[in-house]
Amino acid sequence: MAVLKICKYPDPILKQEAGPIVEITDDIHKLAEDMIDTMREAPGAGLAAPQVGQSLRIIVIEASTAEEVGQALVVINPEIIRSDGSLVYEEGCLSVIDYSAKVTRANQVLVRGLDIDGNPIEIEAEGRMAVVFQHEIDHLNGILFIDRISSLKREIYRRRLKKALKKEEQEARES
């Protein structure tokens, strides 16, 4: 098990649509384990394979109920097959540094996919967990939460990030 490097915006892999997993191999099992370690180390509520440089349709999500603490959900080739309601939730992202914003999402979702052993699963999620599923599945489709906010807020973030990266570069050259 290992902690993987998390790709940061504007890394191009974050804008690509991930490919489906056609066979669950030992490499996929290891990737899932490493993603769970990475998510927990960060710490985060979920992680999608593109965030660790793998253009594959696999997500991991930290379980949220008291009975499930310490367990993570692994969903391969997840898709939202039903969504209902609406809520506004303050989102952040391990790949979008130092920024959070309110995003409107469905309040309830039904997600279909495969578990780590290749068995078909359906998961109903509501509230925060529904938001996490939508956020991580967006990653598989090359969508970041900042793509779901106003263009003005997105541009302000891009400018601030560009300025911060320039400052880091300059400090690195000076040391």
Q: Which residues are catalytic?
A: 136
Q: Do the beta carbons of residue 18 and residue 49 sit within 8 Å?
A: yes
The identity of residue 119, as a single letter, is N
Q: According to DSSP H, which parts of 13-105 are helical? A: 26-41
Beta bridge partners of 19: 56
Please tell me what DSSP assigns to residue 15.
G
- Its sign, for the CA torsion 64, 66, 72, 73, is negative
Give me the phi and psi of 142, to 5 degrees please: 75, 25
- End-to-end Cα distance, the chain: 34
Cis preceding-peptide flag for 20 (omega within 30 of 0): no
Residue whose C-alpha is closest to residue 62's, from 30, 87, 94, 89: 94
